[in-house]
A and B are shown apart, each in its own frame.
Chain A
């Protein structure tokens, strides 16, 4: 047993639902108890889909347990077929039905349906959502795709985009445009938007574009083996990766590597002097393996940040992310416990977090700006506007998204210069973010008043830290002068300065921190 209050991934049948919902003409019959239908609202609310997911739940109840559940499954299958007339069905069990061992696959196969029935084995107590999506799509492809003559012109399949994917909707046209720029057309994009009939045409493409390894790799490997289709290994997120992707496609197809960069703005934006202040900004990156790997490269090579920590929650990508950590000189964090991630972020004291919905909240708790780069995400990350991550427009989107949460350059300098300023102080926060202006506490503006009345209360208390992590240097006492000096340091580096100074004092066995200690530590760490 493992205590969990939040999970990065749902159970594997949610992965299967993501595939079924992405497709048309496919129906999923899920042997599941009443209540498991909650998953519908992920699609109708978070992704704002205007149709119910194509799923029939058997919704068995306690009184059905025993022989009746098998019968319930059979009637649910028949009713779903009669009502929806799908081209194919997938059948499987949720975690509870896995325990009652009705064997949905076996039962469905004996029902003599006139359409392909694909049974799914999704081990709910070992695997998670991404595995569920990958495995479901693989089973569909294995059953429906077959070798066939290639198309006359060079075509590719787009593999991996699903429902509830992070920006999958907009990555598809972006990658389609990259291919079209080289004279390649898309044969089938799947599972997103494909029907079972489309899957039978997969073999006609000359190669596969593996857009998201998490949800399409098993199918791509199978197609490589059985259909002789090579697949791309570069995920085109970021300028460098997009260029590499184009080069890889050229290698596979023998076509000339062509990339129209006329609308690409990231390189100039990043080179312009306005961005100089971004240099060496400390960034922590967490999410699914694919997006983390892409983000790390962009952060270092295209934004000039310093990557101070990275990791992923999906064990399937652990090896790759560990290797990446080595390359960046940091220990990669492979964990699906958000408290571990929070502790690692607090430890690294970054100036920017790139992560998931959870890291956004962690950032809020720790007072560190954050941008979302990966699932899981909430409704605001299914935007109405066009906002891909892949390709050249994706790079433009990423530049804007990542820079936005940071304090702007001039503002940062002014905060350092006028850190005692009564209007323009760090408690006010970045000027372009929500929230009312917080006047500087009178106590801090007027040291004399501070002596009398004590410091004014902080505008709002941060939520209590539940990570259980305490700095071991916490027993060092800050002399009041030094504490005042510490508060003059801009808030976005103050945490780091505090931690460094405490560690410095701790190492030297100092019980107290004076202003001198503070500046000695600063000099020490500046090196």
Chain B
């Protein structure tokens, strides 16, 4: 099969100037990551130590999921906890004891720091150590921060995975570690493709269960499936593992490049890879082509949300023919997104951070055909006559690898399609 990927742009965005902004951020904090992480790690409980605001955030973001017996909760700080910090440690231990007594199926407990707990400097790492000792070996207690003052949305997952890395057992096995919480269906597809190109020894972080033996060591190569894993990347390198830089596996081109990079690292012959991926590549292209009919030539504007914006802009411009006006992202990990930035043609404003009012001004002036933004902005922008795609869905929906490429494009074409369909103004 001939390689039909579009040629890389003459000048990519990797050296483009970045517009760095400070001001009001219209984003979630890292606590939100709990909502998908707790589904992925089936024997883990996430205990936020925070305020009523944190609990309210989780229930607002989790929507109806909260009622299916969630494995997360908030230890809500009360007036008394703020006065004496020594007591706070005891209080926390008491709450954890009660929780673990009620939920005997819990094997990993994450104490998740929040803005209030960070500001009063409640030492959750010490609490985690003490609780770990107390409940060992049945339950392992770790801690990380999902506070808004430190983390934005998906960075919560990064902080969680990075906290797990030092505790992983050491191994000298030659293995691939695939890093990033993926929907089970996408994860299984990836493992199957990797097995068929000859990579069988694959560890997945995070694993679905605590007893899955995920080790790490100098013979581990790791590939990231999500662009927001900067902290985990550093933690793994500190354990001697080697990063395989690659574009992220969104769309046909991204998936192909990602698989090829991994295969190269394992010294696997290109022709063997091609034999495996030819058929799914063709399927992915066909599926994307349908949505691309709607998307082609349309102007695209990204508000910052998940750090997935750069790889997604790369997919939407190169495989769906869209034209990016602005690609806003909360944070740019150069070491991670450079391969994507090299593929993204220069032109759009690359913005890091946010001043939401100014960004809205730019968005209104640019009149994009499709604006990717959070739920706090989507309806107000729709009411102004703009078409929006709410960004959070991109984190909650299977969008990685070949079989989801069509669905991924479909997420962006659907709002445009809907706008065409609705004839709401035909009054007379």
- Contact A45 B66, CB 8 Å, known A2-B78, A33-B29, A34-B152: no
A415–B15 Cα distance when bound, in Å, is 73
A9–B378 Cα distance when bound, in Å, is 25
B349 in the interface, Cβ–Cβ < 8 Å? no
**B34-57 interface with A by 8 A CB criterion:** 47, 49, 51-53, 55-57
Contacts of A128 in B (CB 8 A): 52
Contacts of B383 in A (CB 8 A): 50-51
B217 in the interface, Cβ–Cβ < 8 Å? no
Pair B148/A34 contact, Cβ less than 8 Å: yes
Pair A5/B148 contact, Cβ less than 8 Å: no
- Stretch of B20-28, B183-191, B401-409 at the chain-chain interface: B20-28
| Cβ distance A173 to chain B, nearest Cβ, rounded Å | 23
Pair A1/B91 contact, Cβ less than 8 Å: yes
A466–B115 Cα distance when bound, in Å, is 29
Pair B376/A125 contact, Cβ less than 8 Å: no
Pair B119/A65 contact, Cβ less than 8 Å: yes
Contacts of B69 in A (CB 8 A): 463-464, 466
Pair A35/B73 contact, Cβ less than 8 Å: no
Contacts of B30 in A (CB 8 A): 35
A44 in the interface, Cβ–Cβ < 8 Å? yes
Contacts of B82 in A (CB 8 A): 99, 125
- Contact A125 B24, CB 8 Å, known A60-B149, A96-B115: no
Pair A65/B149 contact, Cβ less than 8 Å: yes
Pair B52/A7 contact, Cβ less than 8 Å: yes
A15–B55 Cα distance when bound, in Å, is 15
A58–B26 Cα distance when bound, in Å, is 11
| Cβ distance B111 to chain A, nearest Cβ, rounded Å | 12
- Contact A1 B149, CB 8 Å, known A36-B53, A41-B374, A51-B380: no
A468–B53 Cα distance when bound, in Å, is 26
A62 in the interface, Cβ–Cβ < 8 Å? yes
**B64-108 interface with A by 8 A CB criterion:** 64, 66-70, 72-79, 81-82, 88, 91-92, 94-95, 98-99, 102
**A52-72 interface with B by 8 A CB criterion:** 52, 56-62, 64-65
Question: Looking at the complex, which one of B27, B49, B88, B118 makes contact with A37 (CB distance below 8 Å)?
Answer: B27
- Contact A59 B24, CB 8 Å, known A11-B52, A96-B119: yes
The number of chain B residues with a CB under 8 A from chain A is 65
Q: Chain A 30-42 against B: per-residue CB contact (8 Å), 1 yes, 0 no?
A: 0001111111111
Interface Cβ pair total, 8 Å cutoff: 190
A88–B375 Cα distance when bound, in Å, is 27
- Contact A124 B378, CB 8 Å, known A3-B74, A33-B29, A468-B102: no
A358–B59 Cα distance when bound, in Å, is 11
A83 in the interface, Cβ–Cβ < 8 Å? yes
Contacts of B81 in A (CB 8 A): 1, 125
| Cβ distance B381 to chain A, nearest Cβ, rounded Å | 9
Q: Chain A 73-95 against B: per-residue CB contact (8 Å), 1 yes, 0 no?
A: 00010010001000000000011
Question: Looking at the complex, which one of B59, B72, B78 makes contact with A7 (CB distance below 8 Å)?
Answer: B59
A124–B81 Cα distance when bound, in Å, is 13
Pair B59/A36 contact, Cβ less than 8 Å: no
B31 in the interface, Cβ–Cβ < 8 Å? yes
B120 in the interface, Cβ–Cβ < 8 Å? yes
A6–B76 Cα distance when bound, in Å, is 11
Q: Which residue of A lies closest to B118 (CB)?
A: A62
B357 in the interface, Cβ–Cβ < 8 Å? yes
| Cβ distance A472 to chain B, nearest Cβ, rounded Å | 19
B265 in the interface, Cβ–Cβ < 8 Å? no
Pair B70/A5 contact, Cβ less than 8 Å: yes
Pair B51/A124 contact, Cβ less than 8 Å: yes
Q: Which residue of B lies closest to A123 (CB)?
A: B79
A496 in the interface, Cβ–Cβ < 8 Å? no
A506 in the interface, Cβ–Cβ < 8 Å? no
A429 in the interface, Cβ–Cβ < 8 Å? no
Contacts of A123 in B (CB 8 A): 79
Contacts of B118 in A (CB 8 A): 62
The residue among B24, B57, B74, B81 with the most chain A CB atoms within 10 A of its own CB is B24
| Cβ distance B343 to chain A, nearest Cβ, rounded Å | 30
Pair B76/A99 contact, Cβ less than 8 Å: no
Pair B98/A99 contact, Cβ less than 8 Å: no
Pair A96/B51 contact, Cβ less than 8 Å: yes
Contacts of A48 in B (CB 8 A): 379
Pair B376/A52 contact, Cβ less than 8 Å: yes
Question: Looking at the complex, which one of A44, A51, A125, A468 makes contact with B51 (CB distance below 8 Å)?
Answer: A125
Pair A3/B28 contact, Cβ less than 8 Å: no
Q: Which residue of A lies closest to B152 (CB)?
A: A34
- Contact A41 B149, CB 8 Å, known A35-B57, A124-B51: no
16 A-B contacts, Cβ less than 8 Å apart?
A1-B88, A5-B59, A6-B55, A11-B52, A14-B56, A33-B29, A50-B380, A51-B380, A59-B148, A61-B150, A62-B149, A96-B149, A99-B82, A99-B116, A466-B69, A466-B102
